[in-house]
Structure 1
Amino acid sequence: MTEHYHHADLPRRLRTVTRAVVEEEGSAAVTIARIARECGVSVAAPYRHFAGKEALLGAVAADGFDALREALTAADGATPTERLVAAGVAYVDFATTHPHLFELMFRAERRERQSAAGPPALEALATLVNDVPLRVPTDVAVRTTWGLAHGLAMLRIGGMLTFTREDTAERLRAELTALVEGIAPDR
């Protein structure tokens, strides 16, 4: 039996089901026919809301960027440095908790090329970097911080321990703190 969704509900349901498939099996497992079947609608129904699979996956990637932005802005700490370090740990944690979604977010082979949700996620990081007094220009610090967190995330997703066998959140926090303090001016 086919479930009927109000048009306002179907796009959300399509994204939710697609994200579940991506999280479990990766984006290659997504087909419009499968998603429509799992949503209980005709194969034509998703096309009323998304131009195709790439657009649907783009929407799921955008949802992922929104979730990443929320994780970064929720980073807690008593000082700007502690908040920035917590955001770095949150970035790596997000990636390792959602590896298939993270891959979809940062690899455009299967989805629309640019997500409008990506820049706000990066802005959340830039805001945290801006709060920390540094010896380097903010744009350099943002790219470096993002590159470091992203590189560590990719190493972990790939099953690599990053440099040592003691690759824990506490060690990551200590190393990120040392790095940020190393580029901060002497107090």
Structure 2
Amino acid sequence: MAKRGYHHGNLREALTGAALALIVQKGPQGFTLSEAARQAGVTPAAIYRHFAGRDDLIAEVARQGYGLFAAMLADLDETAPGLRVRAMARAYLAFAEDHPGHYIAMFESGIDIARRPALARAAGEARDLLHAGCAGLGPDTGEIAAHIWSLSHGVVELYLRNSAGLNHPPEARALLARALDTYLSGLAAPASHNSR
């Protein structure tokens, strides 16, 4: 039994799967490598064949998450800028709901993306898709993408995940749709209405 780790069919995949389950159960910093190894059915020493430590394992889960999120964005059918932005925001909420372990690893683990090139590339690809989806909405696509991402992320954190601890949080999708309507109508307003 002790040697199972050295003969595991796909140890890396088994360990990331174990980490995903533990992240959801205990949070990104709430489990040990020994727990991940036990859940994957391998010895703790076997982990070090693929990961330098827990943060390395969590970073791999986050990298996978950015890949999944980018794939969701790339699969969107909407081409009209306003409709595409709404579809991207809905995809953000769907991603957080459908992939909670990945979402937590990406945004709540404290992993420094800049110090992990593979993770930074994956995050950059998702960010580039968000930027491309905001093209045509205004002169500063990067700023608009930052607003859309921030708005979507805030709704996920405060209301979908209920980080605010509200007894009766508003329905996240309806709230996000109304917020996007307000934001996009502001972008479409004549310049004279936006001047100070």
The TM-score range, normalised by the shorter chain, is 0.7 to 0.9
Deviation track 1:58-106 (CA, whole Å, cap 9, x = no partner) reads: 1011111112222333334362211211111221332245445423212
C-alpha separation between the residues in 1 aligned to 2:52 and 2:165?
40
What letter is aligned with 2:49? R
What letter is aligned with 1:127? A
- After superposition, the Cα gap between the structure-2 partners of 1:166 and 1:73, relative to the gap in structure 1 and judged at 3 Å, is same
State the partner residue of 2:194: none
Q: Does 1:146 align with 2:149?
A: yes
Deviation track 1:34-69 (CA, whole Å, cap 9, x = no partner) reads: 111122222111111111111011101111111222
Q: CA deviation at 1:149?
A: 1.3
State the partner residue of 1:61: 62
**8 Å contact from structure 1 (residues 82, 177) kept in 2:** no
State the partner residue of 2:193: none
State the partner residue of 1:88: 89
What letter is aligned with 1:177? D
Unpaired stretches in structure 1, ≥5 consecutive residues: none
- After superposition, the Cα gap between the structure-2 partners of 1:139 and 1:78, relative to the gap in structure 1 and judged at 3 Å, is closer
Equivalent pairs: percent with the same residue? 28
**8 Å contact from structure 1 (residues 92, 149) kept in 2:** yes
SS of residue paired to 1:44: helix
Structure with bigger RCO (C-alpha 8 Å, 6+ apart): 1
Of the three residues 176, 181, 188, the one matched with 1:184 is 188
State the partner residue of 1:158: 162
**8 Å contact from structure 1 (residues 25, 100) kept in 2:** no
Q: Which runs of 4+ in 1 moved over 6 A?
A: none
Q: TM-score normalized by structure 2?
A: 0.77
Q: TM-score normalized by structure 1?
A: 0.81
Q: CA deviation at 1:127?
A: 1.2
State the partner residue of 2:8: 5
